[in-house]
């Protein structure tokens, strides 16, 4: 079924949801939808846009250019059964998801947030030590600033600035105001994830907490929202708000955030993470089947291409052999014509000399000419190759 995209409407849609989420709505992959946007000169969000937006950053989107070569595009997505990812959904995935969601509704599965935990998750412990050390150093810096005179920059860093430990992890990007609550929330999530069979670690590349379950991966980080403000010197600065946000991201998908609200602090909504993790498992299963089927189709395609290349090589060899036969035949015919003309010339000479007593010189010359005629004539050699006796 053909779909007609209108430029203005599609522009609004691609800036409201990631292409990976929007594409299936039209039966297209994210790359297929990206090609449609490119055809109509629609600007797209840059890499990392959705993560920065989920972190609370206000990013101005570029305006839709006034002029474009095309304002509508008609697309015909492949029908179901021709390799679309929806083809690989299975009823057992939906049943598994329903069962997991039912388990999550049980009170026994509640995520236990403990404000001052005695046991820290092994993945979190090193980061906690680094953040506490950074906090201690900031306090010492503030004390030195107060004793030596007003150093507002140092005091701001000590009292309100983000804690950035030396390994520069962004798993927890908070200030001293929210450090304790952020650590306790991360600890609760990691222990809850482990109890559900997840593998937990810190990503070296993205610097996030990573949760793995049945091949699926989601990452999360906790940050403190900050507002823009002015320092006493009149410079723009970031002002802590004591409001936390947990940003959850799925590999290849969009981001989801849990914000502090007036009547619902972030730590009271940590249970919302795991239903999304289970949905990520289902997405991973479907995508794995899709990738396996695509790989199998690729192998089949490569085998078909190899067969076609082999047939083409055989046909080319036959063509070259035929061309060789043709060239050889034409060459032999040309040689035979020269031999025939030469033989006729020698025979004419012998006829002209008929009745005369041949001299030794003329007899020798005629004999040599006849030998040359035999050498020039390709027919005896060809008859021998074809299995005939030239005699």
pLDDT digits (tens, 9 = 90+) for 315-326: 999 999 999 999
Cβ-based neighbour number of residue 341 at 10 Å: 12
23 and 140, same domain (yes or no): no
221 with 278, same domain: the answer is yes
- Among 56-60, 130-134, 331-335, top mean pLDDT goes to 331-335
Q: Residue 80: pLDDT above 50?
A: no
Cα 124 to Cα 190: distance, rounded to the nearest angstrom: 8
What pLDDT is stored for residue 206 in this prediction? 64
179 vs 162: CA distance, rounded Å: 10
Residue 152 has a pLDDT of 45
pLDDT at 157: 47
pLDDT band at 54 (very low <50, low <70, confident <90, very high): confident
Nearest to 24, CA basis, from 89, 74, 73: 89
122 & 10 share domain:
no
Same domain membership, residue 106 and residue 44: no
Stronger pLDDT, 155 or 171, i.e. the higher one: 171
Residue 221's H or E segment, with its range, is strand 216-230
More confident residue, 85 or 22: 22
Which of 75, 100, 120 delimits the end of a domain? 75
Same domain, 55 and 176: no
pLDDT exceeds 60 at position 156 = no
What are the start-end ranges of the H helices in the chain? 7-14, 19-22, 30-39, 49-54, 91-104, 125-148, 152-159, 179-195, 273-352, 360-376, 379-385
Same domain, yes or no, for 121 and 255? yes
Confirm whether 212 is domain-assigned: yes
Of the residues 26, 52, 75, the one at which a domain ends: 75
Is residue 292 a part of any domain in this protein? Answer: no
For residue 19, the enclosing domain spans 3-75
Do 45 and 102 fall into the same domain? no
pLDDT band at 362 (very low <50, low <70, confident <90, very high): confident
Q: According to the model, what pLDDT value does residue 230 have? A: 64
Segment 123-128 shows an average pLDDT of 92
> 240, 177 in Cβ contact below 8 A?
yes
Mean pLDDT across the stretch 107-113? 91
Q: Are residues 12 and 56 in the same domain?
A: yes
Instruction: Assess whether 273 and 184 both reside in one domain.
Output: yes
Q: Does residue 92 share a domain with residue 71?
A: no
Q: Which of 229, 257, 285 is the last residue of a domain?
A: 285
How far, CA to CA in Å, does 200 sit from each of 221, 249, 285? 13, 15, 20
Same domain, 160 and 135: yes
Please answer whether residues 380 and 389 qualify as being in contact, where contact means their C-beta atoms are separated by less than 8 angstroms. Answer: no
170 occurs within a structural domain: yes
Residue 22's SS3 state is helix
pLDDT at residue 167, rounded to an integer: 53
How far apart, in whole angstroms, are the C-alpha atoms of residue 138 and residue 345? 115
Q: Is residue 299 part of a domain?
A: no
Q: Is residue 156 part of a domain?
A: yes
When pLDDT is averaged across residues 82-105 and rounded to a whole number, the result is: 83
Residue 49 lies in a domain: yes
Residues 136 and 266 in one domain: yes
Give the mean pLDDT of the chain: 84
Identify whether 376 is part of a domain.
no
How many domains does the chain contain in total?
Answer: 2
Domain for residue 383, yes or no? no
């Amino acid at each position: 079924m053909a779909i007609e995209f209108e430029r203005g409407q599609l522009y609004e849609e691609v800036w409201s949801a990631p292409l990976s989420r929007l594409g299936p709505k039209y039966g297209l992959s994210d790359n297929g939808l990206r090609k449609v946007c490119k055809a109509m000169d629609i600007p797209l969000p840059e890499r990392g846009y959705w993560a920065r937006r989920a972190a609370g950053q206000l990013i101005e989107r570029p305006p839709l250019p006034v002029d474009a070569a095309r304002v509508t595009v008609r697309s015909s997505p492949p029908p179901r059964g021709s390799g679309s990812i929806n083809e690989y959904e299975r009823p057992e995935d939906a049943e598994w998801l329903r069962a997991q969601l039912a388990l999550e509704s049980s009170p026994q599965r509640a995520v236990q947030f403990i404000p001052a935990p005695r046991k820290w998750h092994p993945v979190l412990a090193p980061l906690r030590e680094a953040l506490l050390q950074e906090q201690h150093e900031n306090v010492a810096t503030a004390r030195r600033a107060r004793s030596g005179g007003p150093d507002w920059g140092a005091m701001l860093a000590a009292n309100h600035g983000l804690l950035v430990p030396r390994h520069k992890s962004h798993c927890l990007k908070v200030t001293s105001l929210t450090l304790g609550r952020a650590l306790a929330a991360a600890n609760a999530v990691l222990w809850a994830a482990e109890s559900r069979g997840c593998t937990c670690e810190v990503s070296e590349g993205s610097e996030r907490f990573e949760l793995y379950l049945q091949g699926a991966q989601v990452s999360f980080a906790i940050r403190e929202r900050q507002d823009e403000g002015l320092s006493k010197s009149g410079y723009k600065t970031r002002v802590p708000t004591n409001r936390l946000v947990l940003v959850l991201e799925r590999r290849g998908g969009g981001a989801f955030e849990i914000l502090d609200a007036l009547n619902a602090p972030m730590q009271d909504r940590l249970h919302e993470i795991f239903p999304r993790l289970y949905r990520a498992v289902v997405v991973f299963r479907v995508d794995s089947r899709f990738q396996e089927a695509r790989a199998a189709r690729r192998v089949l395609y490569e085998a078909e291409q190899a067969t076609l290349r082999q047939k083409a090589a055989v046909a080319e060899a036959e063509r070259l052999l035929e061309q060789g036969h043709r060239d050889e035949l034409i060459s032999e015919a040309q040689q035979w014509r020269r031999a025939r003309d030469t033989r006729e010339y020698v025979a004419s000479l012998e006829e002209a000399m008929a009745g005369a007593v041949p001299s030794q010189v003329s007899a020798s010359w005629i004999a040599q000419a006849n030998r040359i005629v035999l050498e020039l004539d390709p027919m005896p050699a060809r008859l021998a190759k074809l299995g005939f006796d030239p005699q």
